Chain A
Amino acid sequence: ETGVTQSPTHLIKTRGQQVTLRCSSQSGHNTVSWYQQALGQGPQFIFQYYREEENGRGNFPPRFSGLQFPNYSSELNVNALELDDSALYLCASSNILYETQYFGPGTRLTVT
């Protein structure tokens, strides 16, 4: 069974730029959730995708957007990057029927 994978591993961007992060969900999972984890903090929920639609959203501005594809993989897009967007971005896959979420290794984003 293949676990959750994310790319890239690390990324450095300049303030104002746009970034796209990618996630491949675990086999058999149809739901993807994205989290932001600032240094020394717990993961914060950004949004969730199910059946290629945004299923729910946390307290993040619209410049955080996403996509889910028919194979259940997903993208997180962030526009107009700010310094505070520097964080570890985590993708978690799950089955909509169950609560258990499995995390990928994350993408470390640094905004300078």
Chain B
Amino acid sequence: QQQVKQSPQSLIVQKGGISIINCAYENTAFDYFPWYQQFPGKGPALLIAIRPDVSEKKEGRFTISFNKSAKQFSLHIMDSQPGDSATYFCAAPRFYSGYSTLTFGKGTMLLVSP
């Protein structure tokens, strides 16, 4: 079964610092790698996603870096803010006959201290 290994489990960063979360995946039938942000009591919200025809994608303060040969991708949050404090999940697609689903990492709880 598709595994996605996410690290670290938790992260404390000072306001203005850089938060880095890493994910490693196994074989996948196609390439689409999203990151989700989840606040307590809420559902996951799509934050940013990448297709590995590019090695990096940036949206505002959020950047995904992708290393296809190493089967790894990471999320960088620049100028981290207290409002970024949330749990972040990486995911990788798993394609079965007729449908696709997402396999999620276990999550990283980010706390940005003021």
Contact = CB atoms under 8 A, between A and B. Distances in A.
Interface string A31-53: 10100000011111100101000
Contacts, number: 62
A7 interface: no
Interface stretch (B13-21, B63-71, B75-83, B94-102): B94-102
B46 A100 contact: yes
B44 A103 contact: yes
Nearest to B1: A59
Say which size band chain A's interface belongs to.
20 to 34
Contacts of A56: 96, 98-99, 101
B99 A50 contact: yes
Contacts of B32: 99-100
Contacts of A45: 101-103
Taking each of A31, A42, A55, A108, which has the highest tally of chain B beta carbons within 10 Å of its own beta carbon? A42
Given A41-B107, A42-B107, A103 B100 contact: no
B57 interface: no
Contact of A58 (B43, B49, B101, B107): B101
Contacts of B102: 43, 45, 99, 101
B42 interface: yes
Interface of B: 1, 4, 6, 30, 32, 34, 36, 41-46, 49, 89, 91, 93, 96, 98-107
7 contacts: A4-B43, A42-B106, A43-B102, A59-B1, A99-B93, A106-B42, A106-B43
Given A42-B89, A43-B102, A99-B34, 6 more contacts: A31-B99, A33-B101, A42-B4, A42-B6, A45-B102, A99-B100
